[in-house]
Amino acid sequence: MPAAPDFPPAPDFAKPVRALISLSDKTGLSEAAQALHAAGVEIVSTGGTRASIAAAGVPVKDVADLTQFPEMMDGRVKTLHPKVHGGLLAYRDAPDHAKALTDHDIAPIDIVWIDLYPFEATIAAGGAFEAAIENIDIGGPAMIRSSAKNHGYVAVCVDKAGVDQVLAAIAETGGTTLALRKSLAAKAFARTAAYDSAVSTWFAAQLNDAAPERLTIGASRLQTMRYGENPHQSAAFYKTGENRPGVATARQLQGKELSYNNVADTDAAIELVAEFDPVAHAACVIVKHANPCGVAVGEDLISAYQRALECDPVSAFGGIVALNRRLDRKTAEKIVEVFTEVVVAPEVDDDVIEVFAAKKNLRLLVTGSLPDPLVGGNVFRSVAGGLLIQSRDTARITPADLKIVTKRQPTPTEIQDMLFAFTVAKHVKSNAVVFAKDGRTAGIGAGQMNRRDSTRIASLRAKEAAEGLGLLDSLAKGSACASEAFFPFPDGLLEAAAAGATAVIQPGGSIKDADVIAAADEAGLAMAFTGIRVFRH
């Protein structure tokens, strides 16, 4: 590896003489250029950026005047030149570097502001392959990295916030400190890394390479959180380039900052409520600790919310409420009767904000739309020293997918209940068992080490919910029971039958399938196999 040269220490204070600016997004450019000019900083620029600066009445030199070489090849070659990179990389206090600057008439560059071609925006807008390629910046990342490497002398800015820091420093002291330049350099390297990550990820997708040899993930910080899952853990929330509606892209209209657990739970709620077509039904999902505790559809949102709440009002306290339609005032007034951490909906009526204003800590999020549960993508999980990646679970079961394996055929109503229950089970932590009837969950058992215990918990929830409603019979009576993986033994299935379920839906595939089917027949159950497992660990 190259040895570090014996350079003199970089100065703590550097007074800028020359700035190079090249921008795609020119927001704030005129004001910044005027401030630099007023501070006696010469400005060098390219193309449209140079024209914008000149139009603001600020003197600006074309980069071609600096390089004495014309821009060529449709602008692909303009800054890749020794007079640019020499001016960026030169260690001003190193005698050999200073001599090279003089011998080759290279002017040092002290400030760089570059925001890169809009590659991420191009692919997010669905740009064609050729358009995406043309929006891969080459000279920009090269100049940013040169500047960041030579942060001992150069202040590199990759956004307006960085420029504002530099201008504030110049206004206060006439220059920049080494600490500021180091901070800007770290941000610059992160920006080019994220940019290259976006390019490599997109290119792999174009080649249908689901598992490229090298995987990079670029993300930008949305929020530094007070703590993580527990108060002794630090945490932050980042946004990737995935174009999927959800908590990372939502607008927060009121309430405290989201916590780490709020984000995780809200994401789970949004992904489940999106399974239900808002044109066909209003739907409500209530999530607690990443698991749904109540899910229901209804003719309108208020009925869907009320039915979901009745499934498990104890667990719903302090939960997350997700809705698949525009939130109205009447439903909002019902929601605030119960302590709720987060409410999320595609849109909200104006008077909803007035209702929630009295609950200043309640977070209200608007996503604009719902994620499409049938659109793929990747999900990640960290492990010690590594990262697991898999495609998003886009499985959806229809009546045509069901294989009826029992003597008794399910009724059309039971089939609808089975499909509803299996849809919810897909979003419940394994082992998962869900009872459902008439478009709502009756009982949910989540995260147990064996399926029999998950069934028992779901049965208990259904019984408690009925008692809370003043009903003599458990909500599980006449319900469909879904298991997200096969019943390995008849015991779990028999627990479901004892709870009152009349139909069962499960993937099948156990070596004990024959025993389970026989037990279902003996209990008079109708049972369908899906052939698809939907584990959620």
Quote the distance between the C-alpha of residue 91 and its chain's center. Answer: 41
Contact predicate 536/432, CB 8 Å: yes
3-state SS class at 75: coil
CA 495 – CA 492 distance, rounded (Å)? 5
Distances (CA, A) of 217 to 100, 114, 190, 529: 39, 22, 11, 38
Q: Report the pLDDT averaged over residues 262-269.
A: 97
Contact predicate 236/223, CB 8 Å: yes
Between 536 and 74, name the one with better pLDDT.
536
Q: Position of tokens 């929630």?
A: 356
CA 49 – CA 28 distance, rounded (Å)? 12
Q: How confident is the model at residue 73 (pLDDT cuts 50, 70, 90)?
A: low
Q: Report the pLDDT averaged over residues 16-30.
A: 94
CA 336 – CA 433 distance, rounded (Å)? 29
3-state SS class at 226: coil
| Exposure on the CB side of residue 322, measured as CA atoms within 13 A | 33
Between 103 and 370, name the one with better pLDDT.
370
Instruction: Outline where DSSP puts E strands in 41-105.
Output: 42-45, 61-62
Residues 6+ apart with CB under 8 A from 134: none
Q: Which residues are catalytic?
A: 149, 289
Host H or E run for residue 536: none
CA 537 – CA 535 distance, rounded (Å)? 6
Mean model confidence pLDDT for the chain: 93
Say what the pLDDT of residue 153 is: 95
Lowest mean pLDDT among 149-158, 168-177, 211-220, 468-477: 211-220
To the nearest 10 degrees (0 to 180), the angle between helices 451-468 and 490-499 is 10
Distances (CA, A) of 417 to 77, 421, 459, 534: 63, 6, 16, 17
Share of the chain above pLDDT 70, in %: 97
3-state SS class at 509: coil
Q: Per residue in 89-127, pLDDT tens?
A: 888 888 888 788 888 888 999 999 999 999 999 998 889
Lowest mean pLDDT among 123-127, 189-193, 516-520: 123-127
CA 240 – CA 249 distance, rounded (Å)? 10
Lowest mean pLDDT among 41-55, 63-77, 357-371: 63-77
Say what the pLDDT of residue 83 is: 81
Which tokens belong to 516?
A: 């389970």
CA 229 – CA 237 distance, rounded (Å)? 12
Q: How confident is the model at residue 1 (pLDDT cuts 50, 70, 90)?
A: low
Does residue 76 surpass a pLDDT of 70? no
Closest CA to 307 of 297, 315, 316, 317: 297
Contact predicate 524/504, CB 8 Å: no
Share of the chain above pLDDT 90, in %: 83
Say what the pLDDT of residue 75 is: 66
Q: How confident is the model at residue 82 (pLDDT cuts 50, 70, 90)?
A: confident
Contact predicate 18/41, CB 8 Å: yes
Query: What is the end-to-end Cα distance of the chain in Å, rounded?
Result: 44
Q: How confident is the model at residue 529 (pLDDT cuts 50, 70, 90)?
A: very high
Say what the pLDDT of residue 350 is: 92
Between 181 and 69, name the one with better pLDDT.
181
Residues 6+ apart with CB under 8 A from 86: 100, 101, 104, 106
